[in-house]
Structure 1
Amino acid sequence: MPLRSPAALAALLLLPLAPGPAQAGDAMTRTEPTSPANAARLIAAYPETRRDPLVETHFGEPVADPYRWLEADVRNDPAVADWVAQQNRVTGAYLDRLAARDWFRKCIRELTDYERFGLPVKAGNRYFYLRNSGLLNQPQLFVRDGLKGTPRLLLDPNTWASDGATALDAWKPSQDGRYLLYSVQDGGSDWRVLKVLDVRTGQPLTDTVRWAKFTQLAWVGHEGFLYSRFPAPEPGQTFQQASYNQALWFHRIGTPQEADELVYATPDRPELGHAAQVTANGRWAVITSSSGTDARHAIRVLDLRRSGGDRWTPRELVGGLDHDWQLVEALGNRMWFLTNRDAPLYRLVSLDLDRSGANWRDVVPEGPNKLEHASIVGRKLVLNYLQDATSRAVVVDLAGKPARELTIGDIGTASGFIGRPGDSETFYSFSSFNRPSTVYRLDMASGEVTPFAQPELTFDPARYVVEQRFFASKDGTRVPMFLVRSKAVAAAGRAVPTLLYGYGGFDISLTPGFAASRMAWLEAGGAFALANIRGGGEYGKAWHDAGRLANKQNSFDDFIAAGEYLIAEGITGKGQLAIQGGSNGGLLVGAVVNQRPDLFAAANPAVGVMDMLRFDRFTAGRYWVDDYGRPDREPDFRVLRGYSPYHNIRAGQDYPAILVTTADTDDRVVPGHSFKYAAALQAAQIGSRPHLIRIETRAGHGSGKPTDKAIEESADILAFMAEWTGLKLP
């Protein structure tokens, strides 16, 4: 059960476009494409944005920041709220005229309307799992007594808010399945409220814990649970205050939050975050500490058999913050970890806690592919590797001796393999660009794989071909890319409007996965491409290092080269290429549009990090210095100033059509980034194409977004892309 550190959780920025459903639209009414005259009228209709004469000098260089006032929280500043309302009116009026909007809304809705399941989690004799019947705004949580038992609804988040914007986030049953601990997310915020449910009766307990963020959920028997929280924010700073002083706490069932016990904190180092896991045998709590988004952790353990003050006295296993250490599991006094110490692609090691000192022993040494995940199920280890951004799974014994490789499909992503020592089974899911997630049950004794939940689809996956290609970047580096088209389009060999997606940061790997919005683009006759650019984690530490800090330009060069490759190979034509990325990917889109505005017809930077000189001043931004550098250090400032999207808009160039998207409750990448960037675009002389911003309300960075909001947003984006790439609807 590998764990991402609190800081790494803060870097898990929005990846793909959320597939969502929406309300059915009327039959599509076609209108004329936007003419130059109409575009000119739109530019004239941009809201007037106040421009302040604010200039600061950094390391001898004057830097203008005329739109800093847009950083203020939209909930607390009437001027910002008015600006948002005006921008949404202009954008809404433009999107309302797009010919493809109703078609995409209807198509995405139909593609989303199928029953889908999450991975089952076994606790005692109970099986817990998420299910969405199709078009529910939020998935429901069910439980079965026994694998073949009758499903019983435990939690229905769709009843929690009239707008569907309150979501069930994480959840964890106690070891025997008696209680369920779960976290509630409201309006897309990163803040969580923790609650407890009696599984037998289905009734909630009185326990409520607030100000949890970037936390794991860890039961300590039936007594209570370990969780991580921050101090309550200052008034008016709930969605903007920088995240410092995270501490680990113990909450005892049946007591108020004020009685919670402080387990571990580092007040002398407020930048450190701390999270806890409890091993399946219930004896050990493992504390993971980190300072940024890099996989560099300190590890401490608590012996939960102790009582009194000794119980919360940790024993250090790994000091410093030098390498990644991810707990896999414990049997008795032996623990297994994944680590990249002396192994950039990771290895599996074990440690005997009865012996003093560091007695790490290799169980599975580093191999040619990145070892992403490991779990102990029954008396076996299940290892999940990443080979050219595609999953490969192997089962070995506890000594690391190979047993068998699992056949999990062709190009796609396998995830899950969750279980505990002694379990006879595990579950995993497999998905690809043309295949929604199917959940499988693996019998650990026989190796038999049987479907647990298969979706009934409204389209034929066999009509589409998924390829993996490789292209050369500017410096000759070989970069992988997935390409998805209908077989008819591929066979015809004609150039079609293509949507290119990228991320390239924080050691995060982009792997094949299904999204209804992507499939709608394919159903409309377009092509989809995903570039695994440097900065991600697809090939381990070296790939990550090659696309961050002073090497960040490599990420941009890779993405530009991906676009050039698609045009050179005749997959798309000049004037037919649209690009998209979320969060760090929004930064990517903003940067490459500034550097190569001629290459792209349309762009969607979503919830992007757009002001690289002030990103570290808000909420989780201070964690990201591991990938971006520190704006207050001159060498880093020079690099950041050189590519910051907000600061490098090139007046006099003909820019592509741009639809910026963000949300008012995004407290991961605060919306001020997108507000300032959009204002700067609209003020610059960068051609006649539209440069608009769409600002969702009661939504955040992406997680927990209601299905109806997600579908409306996706339809707007794809209609905008279709308008400016010339995509002809069927």
Structure 2
Amino acid sequence: MSATAATPIAYPPTERADTVEMIFGEEIADPYRWLEADVRSDAKVAKWVAEQNAVTEAYLETLPGRDWFKARIAERMDYERFGLPHRYGSRYFYTRNTGLQNQSPLFVQDGLDGPRRALLDPNGWAKDAATALSDWQPSPDGSKLLYSVQDGGTDWRILKVLDVESGEDTGDEIRWAKFTGLSWVGEEGFLYSRFPEPEEGQDFQALNYSQAIYYHALGTPQSEDRMVFSTPDFPERGHYATVSDDGRWAFVTSSTGTDSRNELQVIDLSQAEQSGWALRPLVTGFDNEWTPIDTVGSVLYLKTNTDAPTYRLVKVDLAADVPVFETVVEARAEPIDSASIVGDKLVVSYLKDAASRAEVFALDGTPVRQIDLGGLGTVSGFGGRPGDPETFYAFSSFNQPTAIYRLDLASGESTPFAIPKLALDPAKYDVGQVFYPSKDGTKIPMFIVKRKDVTAPAPTLLYGYGGFDVSLTPGFSATRMAWIDAGGVFALANIRGGGEYGKAWHDAGRLANKQNVFDDFVAAGEWLKANGVTTKDGLAIEGGSNGGLLVGAVLNQRPDLVDAARAAVGVMDMLRFDRWTAGRYWVDDYGYPSKEADFKVLRSYSPYHNIRSGIDYPATLVTTADTDDRVVPGHSFKYTAALQAADAGDEPHLIRIETRAGHGSGKPTDKAIAEGADVLSFLAYWTGLKVPPTGGD
């Protein structure tokens, strides 16, 4: 090891306040609460950030593998990448990145064989390329494009409209949209969701309450937009609008948090003006999930977990006075991941042990055929409309970059639309799956990926999430591939709290069951060491957001197991998470800090509150960003300050704070490459992964 990198670090001094609260009979110290202030407006916090970044950068410069990883990640990312095509009218719309462009431009072409032309290129929107094209939706005939702009990684969106033929903006602009759909109503307007404008200076910290759905008519100012639906008596409810592909029906989905449960109302758009946009309740009560798929005439197809923890598909006639739901596709052992109507068929994707499989059904639920995906991986897409002859889907795996295919619904034949041309031979990598026992005996699936010529134990990077019904499935990552190319092993544990096996799997890892998540992850690390996958001192762990919480909790509970860690944009203060931006939604998974029973559970594992002095913690790199308004950076700031102040050993405990970036989406390619190189070189150094590697290509 480099003598410089192994030398204990002198951290910048962090002021410690005497903030103490009595909560349910317990004194809770919060000495770094001042770090919750917005770094963009608080000079004291900004100074702390600058000092921490300076120390971290000086340290990262000493790491021998940094340049190699930076070059390797760029190499693995440098290939032509396409997004899924969407057809509207005669036009096909899709994103395309030549390889290392910071943002992916949006293209349009007339017909499958027509010439493509760039429609939007976000690379010129900001000097630092940190302003991104977020979502986009063509109008039904493809003549206009509604799109959203994301600046600096924030969750806030600016909505704009483009004339596709001329390429010129129409001048329509919507502010304060967030967590919104983009739903055209004919060709002359659209529905969207927004929050009230925050008080000055609170854009990135204020709690998100009182979301409402508005209708915007093209050519009018936002101030004239019509409020279609809101619940002022229930400001905690969020509302999301979609429109059926035939343009006849609008659906308003209302929820109270992150759980898969919602109310559903319908608007007959053919009568909207006469009825005053009247909403008719279709499902009341927040008991289960009811997700509209699409309509065929007056018949609506939905995905629901009502009496079906792994989901089933149902239909209901919207013309009936009393809605009666009829099962179309029964629930199976494998959860339904997504469903769509294309042509006169239902296309349904399932999860089988956290990998995708897909099947086509007739509209009455009769099985038609399996779709051959060609291997263990993840499928997405299958968009389209009733009557369409085709759909497009994407397939990827750990060792296969995303490829786009066109599926002919009549013949069932899949043909390539865009196959990546990357100098990578999938056959040189092993992609396997094991099932290991957790502390309580529950079998947990885990993917293990490595080069085939790596036969001895090797430093291993273990990744996990475990929350919010989110399923982790195989997918290509240039950064992970760089770790594997260096001779390391990558492992992905499908721990409880996710959605890999439906509702029961999620429930087993949330609220009072949250400790199962940490036990599952610890058991994965123990299995990797006991079975000779990783070396004795070669286990690195990584997770982001809820996964950052996972890393923080595991470091507190089992610092002896872990040899290096990266906690990204983590939820680290479990007693105050519900006080900022979208944090209030997370009570569905975490519980309420204001309720004594929940508080006791949260207090037991909160990363910030359970750091132990006198214990050697492994080398830890915390990463966050100044514009993260999903998990505000104060979580990571406070956690890092507490870890640095503790008697936690001589290994580095650093924080890397990105500027003009957020929770992850919209990050420019150059920032992603730089961050990936910093993280991997840090983890490689402290797990003994030799860079540059021997073997491989």
Structure-1-length-normalised TM-score: 0.94
Which position in structure 1 is the counterpart of 2:183?
218
Decide which of 413, 421, 428 is 1:463's aligned counterpart.
428
Contact 1:304 1:311 in 2 (8 A): no
Query: Per-residue deviation at 1:423?
Result: 0.4
| AA in 2 matched with 1:723 | Y
| AA in 1 matched with 2:310 | L
Which position in structure 2 is the counterpart of 1:665?
627
2: CA distance, partners of 1:271 / 1:32: 53
Decide which of 24, 31, 38 is 1:66's aligned counterpart.
31
Which position in structure 1 is the counterpart of 2:496?
534
- Give yes or no for the alignment of 1:552 onto 2:511: no
Decide which of 40, 45, 54 is 1:75's aligned counterpart.
40
Query: Per-residue deviation at 1:555?
Result: 0.2
Which position in structure 1 is the counterpart of 2:86?
121
- Comparing 57-66 with 299-308, which one deviates more in the overlay? 299-308
2: CA distance, partners of 1:524 / 1:307: 60
Which position in structure 2 is the counterpart of 1:57?
22
Decide which of 591, 608, 611 is 1:629's aligned counterpart.
591
Decide which of 639, 642, 660 is 1:680's aligned counterpart.
642
Contact 1:302 1:311 in 2 (8 A): no
Which position in structure 2 is the counterpart of 1:448?
413
Query: Per-residue deviation at 1:355?
Result: 1.3
| AA in 2 matched with 1:32 | S
2: CA distance, partners of 1:32 / 1:384: 49
Which position in structure 2 is the counterpart of 1:721?
683
1: CA distance, partners of 2:243 / 2:139: 11
Decide which of 21, 26, 32 is 2:2's aligned counterpart.
32
Query: Per-residue deviation at 1:451?
Result: 0.4
- Give yes or no for the alignment of 1:343 onto 2:305: no
Which position in structure 2 is the counterpart of 1:6?
none
**Higher relative contact order by CA 8 Å / sep ≥ 6: 1 or 2?**
1
| AA in 2 matched with 1:226 | L
Query: Per-residue deviation at 1:462?
Result: 1.2
Query: Per-residue deviation at 1:460?
Result: 1.6
- Give yes or no for the alignment of 1:693 onto 2:655: yes
2: CA distance, partners of 1:412 / 1:432: 4
| AA in 1 matched with 2:189 | G
1: CA distance, partners of 2:406 / 2:577: 44
Which position in structure 1 is the counterpart of 2:134?
169
Contact 2:573 2:608 in 1 (8 A): yes
Query: Per-residue deviation at 1:409?
Result: 2.0
1: CA distance, partners of 2:399 / 2:613: 41
Query: Per-residue deviation at 1:358?
Result: 2.5
Q: Please show how residues 145-164 of structure 1 align to structure 2 within 5 Å.
A: 145-164=110-129
Decide which of 151, 165, 170 is 1:186's aligned counterpart.
151
Which position in structure 2 is the counterpart of 1:650?
612
| AA in 2 matched with 1:81 | A
Which position in structure 1 is the counterpart of 2:233?
268
Contact 1:396 1:403 in 2 (8 A): yes
Local SS of the residue matching 1:195: strand
Q: Please show how residues 601-620 of structure 1 align to structure 2 within 5 Å.
A: 601-620=563-582
Contact 1:657 1:691 in 2 (8 A): yes
Kindly provide the CA deviation profile for residues 225-277 of structure 1, in whole angstroms up to 9, marking residues without a partner as x: 00000000011100000000000000000000001000000000000000100
Query: Per-residue deviation at 1:294?
Result: 0.2
Kindly provide the CA deviation profile for residues 675-726 of structure 1, in whole angstroms up to 9, marking residues without a partner as x: 0000000000011100000000000000000000010000000000011000
Kindly provide the CA deviation profile for residues 320-354 of structure 1, in whole angstroms up to 9, marking residues without a partner as x: 11100111110111000000000000000000112
Which position in structure 2 is the counterpart of 1:638?
600
2: CA distance, partners of 1:83 / 1:136: 32
2: CA distance, partners of 1:623 / 1:216: 18
2: CA distance, partners of 1:673 / 1:432: 33
Contact 1:428 1:440 in 2 (8 A): yes
Structure 1 residues 35, 163: CA separation in 2 closer, same or farther (over 3 Å shift)?
A: closer
Kindly provide the CA deviation profile for residues 21-52 of structure 1, in whole angstroms up to 9, marking residues without a partner as x: xxxxxxxxxx825565x12xx1xx20000000
Contact 1:651 1:684 in 2 (8 A): yes
2: CA distance, partners of 1:703 / 1:311: 37
Local SS of the residue matching 1:236: coil
Which position in structure 1 is the counterpart of 2:442?
477
Which position in structure 2 is the counterpart of 1:357?
322
State percent identity of aligned pairs. 65
Contact 1:372 1:384 in 2 (8 A): yes
Local SS of the residue matching 1:431: strand
Structure 2, unaligned runs of 5 or more: none
Query: Per-residue deviation at 1:458?
Result: 2.2
Kindly provide the CA deviation profile for residues 417-471 of structure 1, in whole angstroms up to 9, marking residues without a partner as x: 1110010000001000010000000001111110000001122221101001100
Which position in structure 2 is the counterpart of 1:25?
none
2: CA distance, partners of 1:577 / 1:34: 22
Which position in structure 2 is the counterpart of 1:201?
166
- Give yes or no for the alignment of 1:325 onto 2:290: yes
- Give yes or no for the alignment of 1:254 onto 2:219: yes
2: CA distance, partners of 1:370 / 1:289: 23
Which position in structure 1 is the counterpart of 2:524?
562
2: CA distance, partners of 1:679 / 1:419: 50
Contact 1:305 1:311 in 2 (8 A): no
Contact 1:574 1:599 in 2 (8 A): no
Local SS of the residue matching 2:624: strand
2: CA distance, partners of 1:82 / 1:681: 19
Q: Which runs of 4+ in 1 moved over 3 A?
A: 33-36
Decide which of 309, 314, 331 is 2:279's aligned counterpart.
314
1: CA distance, partners of 2:222 / 2:669: 33
| AA in 2 matched with 1:500 | L
Local SS of the residue matching 2:608: helix
Aligned residues: 692
- Give yes or no for the alignment of 1:710 onto 2:675: no
| AA in 1 matched with 2:453 | A
Structure-2-length-normalised TM-score: 0.99
1: CA distance, partners of 2:472 / 2:595: 31
Contact 1:547 1:555 in 2 (8 A): yes
Local SS of the residue matching 1:63: strand
Query: Per-residue deviation at 1:311?
Result: 4.0
Contact 2:495 2:521 in 1 (8 A): yes
Structure 1, unaligned runs of 5 or more: 1-30
Structure 1 residues 309, 58: CA separation in 2 closer, same or farther (over 3 Å shift)?
A: farther
Structure 1 residues 307, 626: CA separation in 2 closer, same or farther (over 3 Å shift)?
A: closer
